[in-house]
Every structure is written in structure tokens, then in C-alpha cells.
Amino acid sequence: MGPGEPGFDDHYHAARAGEKLEVVRPAEPNKGTLDELCHKFLAWMEGQVDAGNLSALTLSSRRTGLTQARETMDPDGDRMGALDADLPREAFVHIRDGFGGRTGAAATCLKALRAAYKWGEDHSFPANSPVFGVKSGHMVKGGATPWSARDVERFLEAHGPGTMARLWFCLAYATHGRIGDMASLGPANEVIHEGLRYLEWQPKKKGSAFVSIPMERLLLQELELHEPRDTYLVTAFGRPFASSGSLDNRVRKWIIAAGLYKLAKTKGGEKEKKATRSQHGIRKGVTQIMAENGATEYELMSAFGWTEAKTASVYTKKFERRGAATAASKRLSGAPAGPRIKVHCPFSSSGHCNKSRKSKQWQPVGESNPSFQVENLAS
């Protein structure tokens, strides 16, 4: 805590006397401070979550970003949260720059601050805050990396049948859901339709549609190796994961254990392993496979719980354009007039292309890997 916060003088005098008091953050922050704005905004969000108007995941993201902003130290060594909420632009730039190269985390923090100040305008806090003009500088790098067939092989080789890691992968692939829903899925979500077992659930992400999909053979075979329980996925102590965050942490460890990681420097200069694959990468890869094999926008919306066609069209249009380009090329090759060009193929002694030979095909950046066919992974 810094000067001016409740209890600061008590701790200061105790330190002068060689004593140490227990640090207890005051329940009610000082009036007009950034702490008070964040405290009241988060309390309002909690009420909205309880009423079903906001997602708990959104609340969690906002809380994380605001906590990071409040705990940032200013140049004088005081907490930013203890300062007056009417902060200048330089203060928000200072908070952003504190994240260094972690521009994604900086973007999350600024997004939370903008949401808090937007809410605060109607609740006696500063209006038109400079925070709305501060950019995070975050560069989107294409999102999660789709798993390749080799990635999956390495993971399943590292985590054999009957392991929780393998069950997670089978569940993630079969449902192609978000990790926020995986921790709570279990036998209670199973239903029978025309003799087939289905998984049905309402995704936790706000605005998502109800999902009902048949259970994949790969998942059914793996479930036979596990004892019946309330949730499919449990901790090492046999208890359900407390949150999607705790499951996500465990998934990262499973992925690292399979050798799917890179070395990154920590703040202390040491190197640590960072997982290079994620559950969202499975979801993304499955979406691309479905789209490549002719799935319509409505089919993708039903399978992934999307409520807007524009989300699915990101994937379907990519492969529609590829099909259109192929059709156009065939029209060119069948044209009656025009120059005929012989293309020398280095893979054939006759100089003509031998289509039976395997060669690396060029693909636009971001295209899915056609080898991502997990149907072959059970073996």
C-alpha cells in the first residue's frame, strides 16, 4: 500500500519500531481512486453475471486486467490503484509499457480499463478518460496454431490409453468445444437419439447456441478405460477441475510433456517451456477440416455453437475460393485457343508431370494442413 491508503500510517510506524503488521487490503477503497472505480465496476459485473446478463469468463478477464493495472507501481513507488481515478494519458501509457513485449496482456488490461471507465461515466467517475485514446500496440499473429498430424502423433505417443491427458484430447477433438466447457462435461450431458449417443450442452460463452453432436468412436473407446464419475475430466486427486483456468494450466503441462513447446525467457532472464499448441488449436483445425470437406456455414454454426454466419464464413469462403480457382484453371486448360505451354517436371524422366509422385504443394499462408485427419489417430 502507499501513502494515503487506510492503514498506511500504522504499518509505517510499526516498521520504524521493527515490527511487521499483517497486510490486509481495506474492504472499502478510498473515495475517488482507481481502486474504488475498479471495485464498484467489478461488483456491478458480478451482479450481471448472477443475473445471466454477462459471462463469468468476461468477468474473470476484466478482473485480471484491472488487478494488473491497480498493482502497477508509478514512478514514485505508489500503487496506481491508490491514485485518483482522474489519471492523465501518461499514466495509462505507463501501465501499458509495464507489460513490455506482452502486448496481448497489455491489450487485455487496457480493454478492462476502458470498460471500467465507460461504466464509471454514469456513476460519478471521470468522463472522457484519456484511456480511450491509448493503443495497446498488440499485433494479432493469426491466433492459435492448428494441430498437425505429427503434433497429434507426438501427443498420443506421450500420453497412452487410459490417461487423463489422452481423454482430454479425445474429448476436445470429438466436441471441438472451448476449454471453458470441458471441465463441466460428463455423463449428465449424454443423451440418446435414434440409438446413438450424443453430447449436449449450452456453451458458457455469452451468446453461444446450444450444441448437440454425436459422440465420436475415438472418445467412446477412451471412456471405456475410465471409471464412471460426474465429470469426464478430473484432477490428479480425482476431483473435478475447479475452473477452466485450472484445466487450461494442466493442459499446457500435458502439451509440454509431449514435447510441443518452445523456450522463452522469463523476467528473471531464465528460460522456461511454453506450450505451442492449445485446445483452441484443435477447434481451429477441426473447423478447417470440415470446411475443406464441404461443410456449409449452417453446419459449422450448429457444430460449434456459433449464432452468426459471418464467423463460419471465415472458413467456408476460404475453401469456396480455392474451389472456384480450381474450376477457373480447368476452364483455361480446356480453352480451344491460346498458347500451349509445356511444363517440364523434374520428377519425371520424360519431362511430363507424374501425378502419382508425392511433392510438396504450395498453400497460401494460414491455410489448414490437409494432413490433419485425426480419424487415423486411434491406431
Nearest CA-CA partner of 96 in 60, 41, 126, 137: 137
Nearest-10 Cα torsion for 145, 146, 148, 154 = 70
Whether 287 contacts 307, CB under 8 Å: no
Alpha helices per DSSP H over 161-258: 164-175, 179-182, 217-223, 244-257
Spell out the domains of the chain, with CATH numbers in brackets: 23-133 (1.10.150), 142-379 (1.10.443.10)
Give the angle 86-92-98 at the CA atoms, nearest 5°.
140
In a structure prediction context, what are the per-residue pLDDT tens digits for the chain, which is 379 residues long? 566 566 677 778 788 888 877 665 556 789 999 999 999 999 999 999 888 888 887 898 999 999 999 999 999 888 999 999 999 999 999 999 999 888 888 999 999 999 999 999 999 999 999 999 999 887 666 677 888 888 889 999 999 999 999 999 999 888 888 888 999 999 999 999 999 999 999 988 877 888 888 898 889 999 999 999 999 999 999 999 988 889 999 999 999 999 999 998 776 778 899 999 998 888 877 776 666 666 676 566 666 655 566 555 655 666 555 555 555 555 555 555 544 434 333 333 344 444 343 333 333 333 344 444 444 443 3
* Separation CA 13–CA 213 (nearest Å): 64
Pairing of strands 196-201, 211-214: antiparallel
Whether 118 contacts 343, CB under 8 Å: no
SS3 (DSSP) at 306: coil
